[in-house]
Structure 1
């Protein structure tokens, strides 16, 4: 009922426009579904500027000392504010308190709460991305600890630092998983973001794999610059019928990224951006220093990937370029440079055959490891989902090679 009451508050007190009603799901979260049919061009949801929570909001800008805005990022400031709200450490507006009642209490599903043993069962790329999330969280926690005494002296904080630690992680995940891009004058790019109450209940959805126009096939929140709020309209050419779930794409993200940032994965059948990072496998084949230098100077060192969609499955051009250099017989890279500069399509027929063979062997090894890890993690559906995606991508890229698909 808290979410329903909050929607009523937004419409009545903030003049929000909502064609969507919240529904609680069996998975323990909410979805937003159409209350009635919405025709093309119709407004699905509009949240005005006054409803947002960011560093320009009066409840933040007029409360915290200027030193905070000079020293910390938007994420850090919002996390501190949400921590205080979560602990009830201070007085807050009715709008803030109602918003707080709509937020999840439990984030133990997120990898920030996982054991090291479970993390180590994930594919390498997922582990790297989660490590980056852990690093960012730790940096933001240290930044808060550095400002704790300042906030305590201003009496904005009265609770002990120990009590703040657990709540800070919860608040950091609220901010990290629910913020949207929002233009803030004079702010660094990474600080241009805002919490958008109620709209943040929209779930992520990937475009259907193999659709022609991935980036325009789902609605997305637009920022009406004049008013400064968010709006979602029916930008399709069909009427959205009553009781349809409305979702939007958080970004063109692989399941490794979705797990690291948000704590969920879609699976390879649903995620149009399914990919496997094979940087470790490719760089291990670079035995000569001059080849590494050549790749570095060309800006082509690292970030080698395989992609499942659009089918047939394929390696990135960056990956092919690296493998073609790996398979050169001598130190004369002139033919490879001509290929890189698009003067020729391939280095030579023999080189192309060897590069595709090296890629096929990488795919076979990845598929073998994936099968083993799928079996070992059959009782852990989330970990298994990532290995299934890895297996599907590797085997289908190998199949493309066998069928002599042109990349």
Structure 2
């Protein structure tokens, strides 16, 4: 009798879980914009019904498998006619303007200009069914105001600032080309090709293109042309633990993605953008992957210096030696503790004057002495604690800013908060490991 109750209890819990899971996703197939997109794709040869668009509670929009996808089988195969590439642009109404422009514009700028123009044309655009489902804004640092940039980890702040500067340079240097397109539009190009418009197009290309090598066009700059916007396929979300094989099949003339592990029916189908840590995912794609096995916490030079003895007369020389040997970058903490590079840098910084002859052997991985090894562990723990404190302050500030933020601002703050919480988790593991080492 008790066993019967237990079985009934398990069945009831399973039912409740299934009911909860059913409400955690919302199918989007019936929405007008997706109906139009599927019709548009069907006209270009894409007829597969094995994936449908769904709004998942944890990842947002994605694609769900309507049937089991076995290992090594195709996840999606998108015909070449559906892909938006520089070849598309160079066959369009923009072709003559691009071909006669010198010096040639980059493949990236060509795609950006085409996207801006097609969005402007609205329903008259051939690509409108695709343009219409693209995000209206992004959570990439390029969209972040300065007060949000300041809440990123210091090493990512620098990269985000550099990215903003590079974008600003692209916008400034493209003004004369934008103006040359004026005969194509009734609206002034200054309004049409605004900084906001270029930012939207730049993020659309950088976050949503698949890698596809193209023959170098004599009408474009020598920058590598590896972009292909892939409607519908780009709804697939990234998962760092999924393995896929992706590329353009020259025989079938389709961009194909095959699953290495397979995917169960009614589960979200994922792809893998590569072994990227969360800094790179946020910088390039505008999101953070929870429990990302590739994620680390970076120790920048300023953070490193805080934990060092300023009375060390050879400190500047040691830091210069580390810099000359490329040991002041990619110093990290991971789920398995401080990286080899970080511990090697600390070992060299720990050397006493009578141990300086061992500098080269230390960079090759040699330990020095037990007291110096203890110093390194204590220094690593101090660094860990400093980074943890920085995280706590950032999370407190994020909580304050979220209270009065609009929807766009809230999305930006939430992705930064996710990054900080992931890093806090890594630092917590590291702190435990280092404390155990000290006890031993």
The interval holding the TM-score normalised by the smaller chain is 0.7 to 0.9
Taking structure 1 as reference, are residues 196 and 70 closer, same or farther at Cα in structure 2, changes over 3 Å only? farther
User: 2:130 and 2:205 mapped to 1: Cα distance?
Assistant: 13
Q: 3-state SS of the aligned residue for 1:22?
A: strand
Aligned pair partner of 1:42 in 45, 63, 73: 73
Which range moves more in the overlay, 348-357 or 374-383? 374-383
Taking structure 1 as reference, are residues 89 and 67 closer, same or farther at Cα in structure 2, changes over 3 Å only? farther
Aligned to 1:5: 36
1:220 and 1:249 in contact (8 A); partners too: no
TM-score (norm 1): 0.83
Deviation per CA, 1:153-188, whole angstroms, max 9, x where unpaired?
xx2344321332132221111112111211122375
1:400 Cα offset (Å): 1.3
Q: 3-state SS of the aligned residue for 1:403?
A: helix
Q: Is it true that 1:221 corresponds to 2:246 in the alignment?
A: yes
Taking structure 1 as reference, are residues 200 and 68 closer, same or farther at Cα in structure 2, changes over 3 Å only? farther
Which range moves more in the overlay, 132-141 or 14-23? 14-23
Tell me the matched-pair count.
Answer: 381
User: 1:221 and 1:297 mapped to 2: Cα distance?
Assistant: 39
Taking structure 1 as reference, are residues 21 and 256 closer, same or farther at Cα in structure 2, changes over 3 Å only? same
Aligned pair partner of 1:357 in 370, 378, 391: 378
Root-mean-square deviation (Å): 2.9
Q: Report which of the two has the higher share of helix.
A: 2
Aligned to 1:75: 108
Q: 3-state SS of the aligned residue for 1:194?
A: strand
Q: Is it true that 1:330 corresponds to 2:353 in the alignment?
A: yes
User: 1:91 and 1:142 mapped to 2: Cα distance?
Assistant: 29
TM-score (norm 2): 0.77
User: 1:299 and 1:376 mapped to 2: Cα distance?
Assistant: 34
1:77 Cα offset (Å): 1.2
Aligned to 2:192: 163
Q: 3-state SS of the aligned residue for 2:76?
A: strand
Deviation per CA, 1:177-200, whole angstroms, max 9, x where unpaired?
111211122375653222111111
1:76 and 1:143 in contact (8 A); partners too: no
Aligned to 1:131: 161
Taking structure 1 as reference, are residues 349 and 336 closer, same or farther at Cα in structure 2, changes over 3 Å only? farther
User: 2:165 and 2:334 mapped to 1: Cα distance?
Assistant: 27
1:35 and 1:242 in contact (8 A); partners too: yes
Aligned pair partner of 1:104 in 135, 150, 155: 135
Q: Is it true that 1:250 corresponds to 2:280 in the alignment?
A: no
Q: Is it true that 1:375 corresponds to 2:407 in the alignment?
A: no
Aligned to 1:303: 330
Q: 3-state SS of the aligned residue for 1:191?
A: coil
User: 1:394 and 1:14 mapped to 2: Cα distance?
Assistant: 50
1:26 Cα offset (Å): 6.0
Aligned to 1:210: none
1:45 Cα offset (Å): 0.6
User: 1:90 and 1:2 mapped to 2: Cα distance?
Assistant: 12
Deviation per CA, 1:49-106, whole angstroms, max 9, x where unpaired?
22211112354584543245852222111111111111129974x3x22221222223
2:348 and 2:363 in contact (8 A); partners too: no
1:291 and 1:326 in contact (8 A); partners too: yes
Taking structure 1 as reference, are residues 243 and 88 closer, same or farther at Cα in structure 2, changes over 3 Å only? same
User: 1:202 and 1:68 mapped to 2: Cα distance?
Assistant: 36
Aligned to 2:319: 292
Aligned to 2:51: 20
Aligned pair partner of 2:303 in 281, 291, 294: 281
Which range moves more in the overlay, 314-323 or 20-29? 20-29
User: 1:178 and 1:282 mapped to 2: Cα distance?
Assistant: 36
1:37 Cα offset (Å): 2.1
Which range moves more in the overlay, 386-395 or 73-82? 386-395
1:36 and 1:243 in contact (8 A); partners too: yes
Aligned pair partner of 2:202 in 165, 172, 181: 172
2:377 and 2:434 in contact (8 A); partners too: yes
Q: 3-state SS of the aligned residue for 1:383?
A: helix
Taking structure 1 as reference, are residues 247 and 53 closer, same or farther at Cα in structure 2, changes over 3 Å only? same
1:253 Cα offset (Å): 2.7
Aligned pair partner of 1:271 in 292, 306, 312: 292
Larger Rg: 2
Which range moves more in the overlay, 123-132 or 171-180? 123-132
User: 1:315 and 1:341 mapped to 2: Cα distance?
Assistant: 17
Q: 3-state SS of the aligned residue for 2:174?
A: helix
Aligned to 1:116: 146
